């Protein structure tokens, strides 16, 4: 697999379109950090890291839906930086997603953070994806 982050986002996107409550995704450290950011920002209901003995393990993600309208909390998941074309942003040129309503997830020297946290920390980094 050449782009595991794109696979992660595609699995989430497919599970949302199929109205699934839980999705299993192969784990990696970067995917675990992205999952924590999505949970902190309220896009997913919960998660559980399952470690395998001889395997890389799995991430079980409980997706979040509106109780009344049954609409998912994540409407769009968009991969920005990809292996063939990396996208970086300085702290002063941080992208705003949906005029501040969405979240840009970045990989920085301080770990995986959102665009707002990167502005507060005054660090730049690789823009992994947009979520709204």
- pLDDT tens-digit readout, 79-88: 999 999 999 9
Nearest alpha carbon to residue 129 among 69, 92, 87: 87
User: What whole-number distance in Å separates Cα of residue 113 and Cα of residue 44?
Assistant: 16
Q: Which domain holds residue 106?
A: 4-131
pLDDT of residue 52: 77
Would the pLDDT of 36 be above 90?
A: yes
Q: pTM, whole model, 2 decimals?
A: 0.94
pLDDT of residue 56: 86
Q: To 5 degrees, how large is the angle CA 42–CA 45–CA 51?
A: 115
The total of other beta-carbon atoms located within 10 Å of residue 4's CB is 14
CATH number at residue 37: 3.30.1490.10
Number of compact structural domains in the chain: 1
Would the pLDDT of 119 be above 80?
A: yes
């Amino acid at each position: 697999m050449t782009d595991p982050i794109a696979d992660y986002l595609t699995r989430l996107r497919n599970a949302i379109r199929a109205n699934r409550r839980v999705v299993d995704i192969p784990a990696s450290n970067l995917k675990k950090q992205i999952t924590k950011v999505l949970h902190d920002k309220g896009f997913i209901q919960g998660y559980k890291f399952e470690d395998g003995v001889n395997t890389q393990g799995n991430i079980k993600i409980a997706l979040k839906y509106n109780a009344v309208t049954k609409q998912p909390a994540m409407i769009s998941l968009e991969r920005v930086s990809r292996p063939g074309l990396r996208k970086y942003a300085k702290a002063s040129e941080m992208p705003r997603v949906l005029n501040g309503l969405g979240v840009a997830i970045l990989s920085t020297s301080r770990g995986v953070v959102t665009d707002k946290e990167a502005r507060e920390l005054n660090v730049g980094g690789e823009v992994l994806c947009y979520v709204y």
